[in-house]
Amino acid sequence: MARVYNFSAGPSMLPVEVLKEAAEEMLDYNGTGMSVMEMSHRSKAFEEIIQSAEQDLRDLMNIPDNYKVLFLQGGASQQFSAIPMNLMKNGVADYIVTGQWAKKAYEEACRYGKANKIATSEDKTFSYIPDCSDLPISEDADYVYICHNNTIYGTTFKELPNTKGKTLVADMSSDILSQPVNVEDYGMIYFGVQKNVGPAGVVVVIIREDLIRDDVMEGTPTMLKYKTQADADSLYNTPPAYGIYICGKVFKHLKKLGGLEKMKEYNEKKAKILYDFLDASKLFKGTVVAKDRSLMNVPFVTGDKDMDAKFVKEATEAGFVNLKGHRSVGGMRASIYNAMPMEGVEKLVEFMKKFEEENA
């Protein structure tokens, strides 16, 4: 068995310890004589799984008691519609568009109300985060929306926008649990888990209780109402049980590693290895404004399409897979989420150095 270094933007690497544990429990979870896949979501065993997953996430992120944690389906993209349907009370929201995911969320919100694009970095292929210290926030905006880490472009908010008192909603699909977050800065945080936490099929919503309402937009499907899901503790219908079980294992694993302060330290060190190399390299260069660089997604180019393709091909052969950049950007992208070991990045940089020498 040979594990590769998988630099995919998502779905992406999971901790080997977690995969091994899941394998051990595949046929018989904790003496139940069945796999978690075969188990009733109303069973005692599953109840324990989902409750401890929630508690461990609360511990990791220091989630205050007045926030609900929901384990839902439909991916992060489903939330692009659920958010305006549930949170647009006045029918108005302000969107900061820093990449494709924020843009999709904005476009979806336009279908349900008055969504304002109050800032964007589209003029420079989303290679920076706009100054958000004094934006024209709408008087009657129900919320301000950001994508906290831009998976495709490799930028991240190092400072939160000044929302002038409005509720902040954030998509943290690609940087959740990579560093501590002050949950109280947000009305709602959500993340599709397949980037930094677990298997695709689960999206987690962390939402302040006062934002959970019954009088949501006319026509909102029952399943998309946060109230439905909150009242049923995420068990309104059959949840993505196996995915939640794996997420729970990852939460436990992160706690064991020392929590989010420790992850931040580790991720900063890891990303620095790659950024330092890119800054010094004559062949490769990063595509993002240095101050807005993501710790999780690192796009880079050689400036020559054929050279890029040659690099991706040779890297793949050497066991560094999924380094091809997103189709909208080209070049390369190394996604170095929590589960990418330091050694993976060190070895990648060694490989890039060798490639640079050979192709000088």
Ligand X SMILES: *Cc1c(COP(=O)(O)O)cnc(C)c1O
Residues assigned a catalytic role: 101, 171, 195
Nearest distance, CB of residue 9 and ligand X, angstroms: 7
With CB under 6 A as the contact rule, which of the stretches 135-143, 169-177, 238-246, 329-337 interacts with ligand X? 169-177
77 binds ligand X (CB under 6 A): yes
Q: Which is nearer to ligand X, 158 or 213 (CB)?
A: 158
Q: Is 75 in the site for ligand X (CB under 6 A)?
A: yes
The nearer residue to ligand X, 104 or 255, going by C-beta atoms, is 104
CA distances for 18 relative to 40, 237, 346, angstroms:
22, 27, 23
Q: Which residues contact 61 (CB under 8 A, 6 or more apart)?
A: 177, 180, 181, 183, 206, 260
Q: Check binding of 299 to ligand X (CB under 6 A).
A: no
As measured in angstroms, the least distance from the Cβ of 359 to ligand X is: 31
Supply the minimum distance, in Å, between the C-beta of residue 219 and ligand X.
22
Only one of the segments 13-21, 70-78, 299-307, 338-346 lies at the binding site for ligand X (rule: CB under 6 A); that segment is 70-78
Does the footprint of ligand X cover residue 147 (CB under 6 A)?
yes
Stretch that binds ligand X, among 75-83, 154-162, 178-186, 286-294 (CB under 6 A): 75-83
The site that binds ligand X (CB under 6 A) totals a number of residues, namely: 12
Provide the CA 310 distance to its chain's centre, in angstroms.
29
Window contacting ligand X (CB under 6 A); options: 65-73, 166-174, 311-319, 331-339? 166-174
Which x/- pattern over 83-112 shows residues binding ligand X (rule: CB under 6 A)?
------------------x-----------
- For residue 174, state whether it binds ligand X (rule: CB under 6 A): yes
Residues that bind ligand X (CB under 6 A): 10, 75-77, 101, 147, 151, 171, 173-174, 192, 195
